[in-house]
Structure 1
Amino acid sequence: MALLDCLSRTQKIILAILCFPLLPFYLCYVCCCSSDEDGGEAKASQKGDLRRAEEAKNDAVDGHGVKVTVNIQPSPRTLPRSTATQREQTDKSVECNVNGNREVVTVEIHPKKRTANLVKKFSFGKGKVTSRNEAVYENEGYVNDQNGTKVSNAILLAYPWDGSTLKSMRIDLNQFKQLDAYASEVRASSSVEVLVRDLLRGTSSDVEKLRAIWVWVTHHIAYDMEGYRNPNLRSASPDDVLRTGRAVCAGYSSLVQRMCSLAGIECKELSGYSKGAGYKLGNRFRGESDHAWNAVRLAGSWHLLDATWGAGHVTDNVSQFEFKYNEFYFLTHPALFVGDHFPLEGQWQLLRPQISLKQFEDAAFRKSCFYNSGLLSSQPESWLIHSDQKTTITIKSSSPTLFMQTLNDKENHGILTLKPDGMMLDVYPPEIGKHSLKIYCRDPDSTEKMYNSALHYEIQCKAVDRGLNLPEDLKNPMGPSWMSEQSGLCDPSQRDSLVHTADGRCSFSFRVDSHWEFLSMLSTEVFRMTDDEQRRHTFMSRTVDRVKFQVQIPRPGLYQLCIYGKERTMAGSFSNVCNYLISCTNPKVSWPVFPLKYTTWQEHYELVEPLSGVLPANRTIRFKMRVPGVSQVSVQGKATQDLCLDTDGFWNGCCSTAGCLDLSVMIRENPNDLTRSFILNYQVGGKSD
């Protein structure tokens, strides 16, 4: 200070400028020496700790200048739950240094994660202030507090879904069969406490306790339709919900939370936006939440469940509730749960990364049935599809699944093809504008034959394909598939569902099992075809291990070939097993029907020529066919002409159409038979000479 008195004003200013860069070091020294002066941290107990540290320091320094570290245990005192746990993780040390005759002791005592004093000294603005949560958990997970929520990436699940499991934890639902049966039959009690006590009998783990609570709530609490329509009539109190047996979503979630709390399971009520009853494609979510559900903590991690939707569903017009248990919403994988649940607090998506509200709004509307049926994914990802004549939808599944679709509630505007791992759907909107596309599915092995709604899109069509007018009675699925293979049709010669022909003729062959029998029909919307024409524009022949369907179309247009089959030993009618679409644009095409087959025509017979069922008049016609196991084949016209058997097993010969209206093919099975059987008949066109 004496030096400063000797300096002039100008010299003092120059000295201050030169020393200003050293100011931070000086301030650091001040802070470290006076850390206990902070108002929020200056506790009397810590002063006692410092005093004991000083005394320990004096005892800990030996005469040889050795550096000694002394651990100080603070005196026991009552702490908040979180602070007590943090103390167990606190580093408390006294470092004693001996340097010649000088000793420097540094003592710092603060709970882990407590804001350092240096940072507090240099906090130039408060910024966002969040109260520290006092709840303590064993893992670095979500903390249920009102001012903030902490998340650890270790418990988050990846988005999008990897397709491995519908649940957020590995559980075997079969192990719950006995528990489910018991919990579903427990009668409602006078109080929630008594009910929980009864439900938890025989349970051991938290998962079993939660399962018992979940099953009871979803089987005994009905959705409160009156409360939904009139908020003054609803109550979210767990006691009221138990007493009335009815609740809206807030009542379901509050009851689950109360029951879990009594069972010793940490549970949180969540709220947000949902795609439930009344949801329309394109809805935008703003303002207050419209749904409530729960998060529970099991084995150190948080999981999601929705007892409201697990209990059943309401009709589309929100007029009636139906109990229909839905397993999907119990411990649902977060990447699937977020498909129709968007929490107001984004961290409760339990996802890494989180999705935005716009992503939630724009995502395709996949219902719980989509995943319950083993479906994995669908394309496009957005609910709104912009179409230019044709739109293609694909679905991946974990096993073969049956599908159907409607466009504006009609089934004839799409070509659906089944695949072992899903399906492909080509949609052809009939006009420009908006169209509602719904896709349904069902398990082929299920005794339940009803299809369930799985997926919903809206198509904005900009152009229409006028060249493809699909039949009104279109029979999907189209083309060969695992379903046609199960019906005995394997190794198809035509794998595409839509076949184009330039000359109006085509054929389809399959490898078949001998115990299956088939028939086929051809139809169109171009003109009205009689039943006889529908049957006779196709011709089936069969060898030992293959069947062949030949087609001749009568005029240009789009046709549908339907193949029916059944097992020979099974009673009943034929079932549709495979379908094709056949397109021909050649204006010159005009094929007649195939020849008429009598009942004596056998499947293993094969006709090579003539294939036309109408023969020209006054012509010599060549005949060739395979008719095994007979002694004679003849063609009867104005005269009868016997055919000859060649070395390849075919009967060959010629016959004239002159002077007759039709020709018939006859067989004699045994040489000694006096009668013959008609197997084919041809019409002769034009007038005879």
Structure 2
Amino acid sequence: MGICCSTNSVVPIYNMAEIQRQLEIVQDDLLREFQDMGFPTNTKLRMANIEWYQMVQRRGIPLPPTLIYPNPFTKEEILRNYDFTKIDKFALSKKSSCFLSKTPSDAVASLTRRYRNDEIEKFRVLFRWFASLNLHSINYSDVKVNEIRYLMYQIHRGQMSHSEVLCWICVHANIDCIEIKGHQKHEQFDFGEELTDDLRGSWNAVRLNNLWFLCNVRFASRSVNANERVYSPLLKFFETKVYERTLTYKYNDFYFLTNPEEMIYSHLPTNAKHELLAREVSNLEFRDQVNLSQNFFSLRLGIVSHPKGKIIANSIKNEIIIQTNESLPVFFWNELLIDNRTWLTSEVNDRVQTGNVDSQKFIAMFQDKQRHLLIIRLRLPQSARYKLQLFANRYKEKMTYLNCLEYAINFTKYENINVDPFPHVHQKELGPNYRTTKLNFIKMTPELGMYYTSDSFTEIRFEADDDEFDIYVVITSCGYTSESLRKYCISTFEHRRGLVKFYFPDCGEYGINIYAESRRPKYCCSCLCFNFCEKDEPNDYPSLCSYIAVCTQTPTNTVIFPKNDRITIGKRTAFLRLGLVVDQNFQSYQQCRESINFKFNKSKACQFKIKLLSFTDNEEEIDCSQYAFIENSLNSVKFFLNFPYKGMFKCFIYGKKLNSRKSYKLIYICYFDVIQAANNVISFPQITDKWRISETHRIIEPLRNLHCDESVQFQITGIQCQKMICRRNRRRDNTNNDDENSGSGDGDACDDNNDRDDDIINFTCENDVWTTNVDTGNQTDDLIIEIKLRERAKFFTEILRYKVSEQPRIEDESGERKEELIAVNNDAKMDTNEVRIEQINWLLELEKHVYMSEFINEDLIKATEDSQEKINVSNV
């Protein structure tokens, strides 16, 4: 390179022949390395440009400004310090008919007078102004040749192209701009299609600040949208297809200074030098490339497994892997289409005709966020040609997924190999997704949406506001119905922690679908009286997230939760509306021994009912409510449960406002896995609603089992009445008066004259404590405590019912049975201060994947993220 000096400036003189020779040597030195890269992708092409430029710099080869060479810098790096907001606003203000009547030189001068010192800003205002024009809305009447409007008229008539006019405009702005001719992929370009003349087009390369950039003002000014002609979803296979093509004028900034490694996916120049790529792309490679959209590049995704757009799939397990970006969280959605010319098999045809086609069973898509991969697994229903469309976007309050890429899949299904589809899942993207982020469900584990385990159970954990949301779970499988799988799954959501625990009935794949809805009350308005009435809880919640868990070994320990439904145990919505709070140490599912007691803290006056169930081996219910008791007070309510034998117990707690005429609502559900039964289990007295309507009623004694032939002292406090009696009642078939009608009037149909005098024992009241002594007698009768609320009341009202049982029998060392009184009563007294709860190990070990994604070289993944490192995926 020489230098030519004059009085005004210094002009460098380049030996172009020598520079060209040296650049050819650089290209030859990198040729082997470029060949080892395999099929080109956007990431590999960017790395090739960087390596080429670094080698040129190391060898000291000068690059003349007029020489078109690969750009080592990305658009994002160049424009990092630019803000085009004011420039764009100024450009958009110059679209009046008066401005369009100016000459080209005057119009360009008017646009660029503020931006003469920076070539990028000067070109931006010209490009943005040109791309904002809607050529169909310009008035071309009385147009003159010397007007800039005439150039637009020439484009409108088809006499000139956008790229030619842009070159004319840049001449007046003293900017180097050339027109590039070649092939452009249109919206309906099919994979492997020949590059015919109807694909020919033109675009521009522009030199700014001694660097060359690509742009397409025509694509930037408008877009063409067309619906699919060749493919359709399976559910719409037999529907009539209507092809529509719409032209929309809307600015697209992607085509302003587009990166060459991104432009090559839709633009192939006739002259390979105009690709601005060190590793040039051939016609065959351009034709076979995967169809990537601009959203793919803006979301910083990358191709890992399949750089070609056509995939030949003839194996059982088909997998596509996409690289994601650690610093840019993205959510995905997919659509599977089938060729309209496919001859459907009889099985698939019947399903399509009846609408019984679930496309989610053919695709499992999830992110591996530790390795920054999107993994798509396919199990296609029959031999055919498919199109897989992938959509994605960053998180937004109102989410709209944008098209990213498309693959054509030629699938051949072997007749002798039968592979079950995936279990049904509601969400397209497995694992944590857009909706979990929106609803602030955090720390979801496992992070993988599809995972393997050799354990007998699996767990899904998360953290969220349980006062704000309610959840339920639906389990699916190809071999079981959802209803039959309910008894193997339990879900809890309390203390801001959620847990879904599922015991595998057998090895295989299971879909775990979690649904969530806000607990906020919803109201409907009555048009006649304009009163608001609260709506009932909905039967179906919106989907939150889905998982596929794969059990690889036959389970050795399966736990069953009898009579379980999809409702999450723990607190219900009515629980929160009554202002109740669960004790922090209590869990709605836990293992325990003998007995347990827990409490709810209250902020409102409420009354409660409790129901305790156990189950036989055939899952038949056994009512054990006599072993449950409630102690209601002003600030809290305590529940006491005794367990007569081992096994699974289910507890239902109902509640309502104190003295409310409304029916009880379910407020809490819990399961107890009893591993040790109580030796001397206490059967509590049965209570009626007349007992429940007060928060001051207390039983001082007895809270134990009553046996024949013993004297028992009764002490009850907190009851406001005129008279209290205890009467002995011979046990009848219907002894359970614990319902809404018990004590609903002033008393039961029993008065002083209905029983013998010796069967009625009166209580005495002193200091608000009602006391009496009762001889239980020698028969297994019921002792009923009744009250007379008013002096003039005709009937007594039942409030408590004790059951008297026979004295327990014991055996001596010789095996002979003896009847004798033993000190059972003292041993069987309830200790309300002791709670025995065993901790459960919830840990879950996940197995490794068995798909191709498990064997990808970690260095390869790292290289795909870092554009400064060399990548080699030819073996993938």
Q: TM-score range by the shorter chain?
A: 0.5 to 0.7
1:597-633 CA distance string (max 9 Å, x none): 99995276423369xxxxxxxxxxx987774438997
- In structure 2, do the counterparts of structure 1 residues 294 and 626 end up closer, same or farther at CA, with 3 Å as the change threshold? farther
**Secondary structure of 1:325's match?**
coil
Residue among 335, 346, 367 paired with 2:293: 367
Residue among 613, 629, 632 paired with 2:600: 629
Identify which range, 249-258 or 538-547, moves more after superposition. 538-547
Q: Is the 8 A contact 2:184 2:200 kept in 1?
A: yes
| TM-superposed deviation, 1:392 | 2.3
In structure 1, how many angstroms separate the alpha carbons of the residues matched to 2:15 and 2:654?
103
Residue among 608, 613, 627 paired with 1:642: 627
Q: Which runs of 5 or more structure 2 residues have no equivalent in the other structure? A: 19-61, 138-146, 227-242, 339-358, 523-536, 573-585, 602-607, 614-621, 631-638, 672-876
- In structure 2, do the counterparts of structure 1 residues 395 and 429 end up closer, same or farther at CA, with 3 Å as the change threshold? farther
| TM-superposed deviation, 1:305 | 0.4
Answering whether residue 179 of structure 2 is matched by residue 197 of structure 1, we say: no
Answering whether residue 544 of structure 2 is matched by residue 577 of structure 1, we say: yes
Q: Is the 8 A contact 1:273 1:342 kept in 2?
A: yes
Matching residue of 2:232: none
**Secondary structure of 1:445's match?**
coil
In structure 2, how many angstroms separate the alpha carbons of the residues matched to 1:495 and 1:460?
31
Task: Compute the TM-score of the two structures, normalised by the length of structure 1.
Answer: 0.61
| TM-superposed deviation, 1:583 | 5.0
In structure 2, how many angstroms separate the alpha carbons of the residues matched to 1:114 and 1:440?
48
- In structure 2, do the counterparts of structure 1 residues 575 and 241 end up closer, same or farther at CA, with 3 Å as the change threshold? farther
Percent identity for Structure 1 against Structure 2: 17
Answering whether residue 277 of structure 2 is matched by residue 356 of structure 1, we say: no
- In structure 2, do the counterparts of structure 1 residues 423 and 525 end up closer, same or farther at CA, with 3 Å as the change threshold? same
In structure 1, how many angstroms separate the alpha carbons of the residues matched to 2:180 and 2:93?
28
Q: Is the 8 A contact 2:425 2:546 kept in 1?
A: no
Q: Is the 8 A contact 2:421 2:478 kept in 1?
A: no
In structure 2, how many angstroms separate the alpha carbons of the residues matched to 1:518 and 1:638?
28
| TM-superposed deviation, 1:172 | 4.0
Matching residue of 1:179: 87
In structure 2, how many angstroms separate the alpha carbons of the residues matched to 1:507 and 1:629?
27
- In structure 2, do the counterparts of structure 1 residues 677 and 575 end up closer, same or farther at CA, with 3 Å as the change threshold? closer
Partner AA of 2:612 in structure 1: V
**Secondary structure of 2:265's match?**
coil
Residue among 318, 332, 344 paired with 1:403: 332
Matching residue of 1:607: 589
In structure 2, how many angstroms separate the alpha carbons of the residues matched to 1:245 and 1:487?
51
Matching residue of 1:450: 400
**Secondary structure of 2:329's match?**
coil
- In structure 2, do the counterparts of structure 1 residues 597 and 186 end up closer, same or farther at CA, with 3 Å as the change threshold? closer
Answering whether residue 449 of structure 2 is matched by residue 522 of structure 1, we say: no
1:660-681 CA distance string (max 9 Å, x none): xx997466999x9999997559
Identify which range, 484-493 or 394-403, moves more after superposition. 484-493
| TM-superposed deviation, 1:309 | 1.1
1:443-467 CA distance string (max 9 Å, x none): 21254x3321110111222447743
Identify which range, 186-195 or 328-337, moves more after superposition. 186-195
Identify which range, 175-184 or 622-631, moves more after superposition. 622-631
- In structure 2, do the counterparts of structure 1 residues 425 and 623 end up closer, same or farther at CA, with 3 Å as the change threshold? farther
Q: Is the 8 A contact 1:89 1:112 kept in 2?
A: no
- In structure 2, do the counterparts of structure 1 residues 394 and 600 end up closer, same or farther at CA, with 3 Å as the change threshold? closer
**What are the equivalent positions in structure 2 for 1:554-565 lying under 5 Å apart?**
558-565=509-516
- In structure 2, do the counterparts of structure 1 residues 395 and 413 end up closer, same or farther at CA, with 3 Å as the change threshold? farther
In structure 1, how many angstroms separate the alpha carbons of the residues matched to 2:16 and 2:456?
81
**What are the equivalent positions in structure 2 for 1:264-413 lying under 5 Å apart?**
264-285=174-195, 290-316=200-226, 319-377=245-303, 379-387=305-313, 388-389=315-316, 390-397=318-325, 398-408=327-337, 410=359, 412-413=361-362
In structure 2, how many angstroms separate the alpha carbons of the residues matched to 1:318 and 1:172?
41
Partner AA of 1:635 in structure 2: L
Matching residue of 2:462: 510
| TM-superposed deviation, 1:440 | 0.8
1:113-157 CA distance string (max 9 Å, x none): 699xxxxxxxxxxxxxxxxxxxxxxx83474xxxxxx54xxx523
| TM-superposed deviation, 1:362 | 2.4
Partner AA of 1:395 in structure 2: Q
Residue among 103, 115, 127 paired with 1:214: 127
**What are the equivalent positions in structure 2 for 1:583-594 lying under 5 Å apart?**
583=550, 594=563
Q: Is the 8 A contact 1:538 1:594 kept in 2?
A: no
Matching residue of 2:167: 257
**Cα-Cα RMSD:** 4.9
**Secondary structure of 2:161's match?**
helix
1:154-213 CA distance string (max 9 Å, x none): x5235xxxxx8445733545x211121121231251343443233224232322221122
| TM-superposed deviation, 1:656 | 10
In structure 2, how many angstroms separate the alpha carbons of the residues matched to 1:600 and 1:541?
5
Partner AA of 1:653 in structure 2: F
- In structure 2, do the counterparts of structure 1 residues 592 and 526 end up closer, same or farther at CA, with 3 Å as the change threshold? farther
| TM-superposed deviation, 1:400 | 0.9
In structure 2, how many angstroms separate the alpha carbons of the residues matched to 1:179 and 1:171?
16
| TM-superposed deviation, 1:478 | 0.9
Matching residue of 2:498: 547
In structure 1, how many angstroms separate the alpha carbons of the residues matched to 2:202 and 2:273?
16
Q: Is the 8 A contact 1:375 1:396 kept in 2?
A: yes
In structure 1, how many angstroms separate the alpha carbons of the residues matched to 2:127 and 2:521?
46
Answering whether residue 467 of structure 2 is matched by residue 467 of structure 1, we say: no
| TM-superposed deviation, 1:399 | 0.7
| TM-superposed deviation, 1:218 | 1.4
| TM-superposed deviation, 1:471 | 4.9
- In structure 2, do the counterparts of structure 1 residues 431 and 587 end up closer, same or farther at CA, with 3 Å as the change threshold? farther
| TM-superposed deviation, 1:214 | 1.0
Higher relative contact order (CA 8 A, sep 6+): 2
Matching residue of 1:156: 70
In structure 2, how many angstroms separate the alpha carbons of the residues matched to 1:580 and 1:599?
17
| TM-superposed deviation, 1:487 | 4.0
In structure 1, how many angstroms separate the alpha carbons of the residues matched to 2:303 and 2:16?
43
**What are the equivalent positions in structure 2 for 1:104-123 lying under 5 Å apart?**
none
In structure 2, how many angstroms separate the alpha carbons of the residues matched to 1:328 and 1:422?
25
1:334-381 CA distance string (max 9 Å, x none): 122222111111111112232222222222211112123343555421
**What are the equivalent positions in structure 2 for 1:57-136 lying under 5 Å apart?**
none
- In structure 2, do the counterparts of structure 1 residues 302 and 535 end up closer, same or farther at CA, with 3 Å as the change threshold? same
| TM-superposed deviation, 1:331 | 0.6
In structure 1, how many angstroms separate the alpha carbons of the residues matched to 2:157 and 2:599?
75
Q: Which runs of 5 or more structure 1 residues have no equivalent in the other structure? A: 1-72, 77-83, 91-110, 116-138, 144-149, 159-163, 225-236, 611-621, 683-689
Partner AA of 1:209 in structure 2: K
- In structure 2, do the counterparts of structure 1 residues 459 and 561 end up closer, same or farther at CA, with 3 Å as the change threshold? same
| TM-superposed deviation, 1:504 | 7.6
Q: Is the 8 A contact 2:515 2:545 kept in 1?
A: yes
Q: Is the 8 A contact 2:333 2:392 kept in 1?
A: yes
In structure 2, how many angstroms separate the alpha carbons of the residues matched to 1:178 and 1:581?
50
Task: Compute the TM-score of the two structures, normalised by the length of structure 2.
Answer: 0.49
| TM-superposed deviation, 1:484 | 3.5
| TM-superposed deviation, 1:581 | 2.1
- In structure 2, do the counterparts of structure 1 residues 608 and 681 end up closer, same or farther at CA, with 3 Å as the change threshold? closer
Partner AA of 2:376 in structure 1: L
In structure 1, how many angstroms separate the alpha carbons of the residues matched to 2:546 and 2:166?
51
| TM-superposed deviation, 1:521 | 2.4
